[in-house]
Amino acid sequence: MTTTDSTSAPHSQHLQEARWLTLTAAGVQLQLDLDQDRPRIAHFGHTLAVDPATQRLMASAATPQASLDQLPPNTLFNDAGSGFAGQPALSGDRDGQDWLSDLQLADVGCRHDAQAAHAHLTLRDELSQLEVRLSLQLTAEGVLRQQTTLSNQASRPYRLEWLAAACLPLPVRYEECLTFGGRWVQEFTETRHAIGEGMFALENRRGRGSHQRVPSVIVGTRGFSEQRGEVISAHLAWSGNHRVLVERQFDGSTQLQLGALLLPGEQTLAAGESITTPEVVLAWSDSGINSASQRQHAALRARLDWPQSHKPRPVHVNTWEALYFDHDAARLDELVVAAGDVGAERFVLDDGWFVGRDGERAALGDWYLDEDKYPNGLDPLIAAVHAQGMEFGLWVEPEIVNPDSELYRRHPDWILGLPGRDQPLGRYQCVLDLTRPEVGDYLFARLHALLAEYPIRYLKWDMNRDLTHAASQTGEHAGRPAAHTQVEALYALLARLRAAHPEVEIESCASGGARTDHGILRHTHRVWTSDCNDPHERVHIQRGAGRFLPPELLGDHIGPAHAHTTSRRTSLAFRASTALFGHLGLELDVSRLDHDERAVLRGWTERYKALRGLLHGGISWRLDCLDPHQQAHGVVSPAGDEALFNVSQLAMPRHALPASQPLAGLDPTRRYRVELLKLPEHPERRMKALPAWIDAQLNQGETLEASGEQLMMLGLALPVLDPDQALLLHLRACD
Q: Is the dihedral of CA 680, 686, 687, 691 positive or negative?
A: negative
**E strands present in 565-641:** 583-586, 619-623, 630-636
DSSP state of 572: H
Per-residue b/e over 392-406, b at no fewer than 16 CB within 10 Å?
A: bbbbbbbbbbbbebb
DSSP state of 646: E
Instruction: Kindly name the residue from 531, 534, 627, 667 that is annotated as catalytic.
Output: 531
DSSP state of 316: E
Beta carbons of 667 and 701 less than 8 angstroms apart: no
Extract long-range pairs of 133-139: CB within 8 Å, 24+ residues apart: 134/39, 134/76, 134/77, 136/23, 136/30, 138/10, 138/23, 138/24, 138/25, 138/28, 138/29, 138/30, 139/10, 139/25, 139/26, 139/115, 139/299, 139/302
| C-alpha to C-alpha distance for 28 and 545, rounded to whole angstroms | 24
For residue 328, give Cα distances in angstroms to 303, 337, 456: 41, 14, 20
If DSSP codes are grouped into helix, strand and coil, which group holds residue 521? helix
| The CA-based dihedral angle spanning residues 436, 441, 447, 452, taken in that order and rounded to the nearest 10 degrees | 170
Contacts of 85 (CB under 8 A, 6+ apart): 72, 249
Q: Is the dihedral of CA 613, 619, 620, 624 positive or negative?
A: negative
Would strands 583-586 and 554-558 be described as parallel, antiparallel, or unpaired? parallel
For residue 401, give Cα distances in angstroms to 115, 297, 357: 42, 35, 12
531 is catalytic: yes
| C-alpha to C-alpha distance for 523 and 699, rounded to whole angstroms | 51
Length of the chain (residues): 735
Instruction: Kindly name the residue from 98, 350, 462, 641 that is annotated as catalytic.
Output: 462
Q: Which helix (H) or strand (E) holds 479?
A: none
Contacts of 277 (CB under 8 A, 6+ apart): 147, 148, 149, 163, 164, 165, 259, 260
What angle do helix axes 572-579 and 535-545 make, rounded to 10 degrees? Answer: 10
| C-alpha to C-alpha distance for 208 and 213, rounded to whole angstroms | 10
| The CA-based dihedral angle spanning residues 460, 461, 466, 467, taken in that order and rounded to the nearest 10 degrees | 170
Positions marked active-site = 462, 531
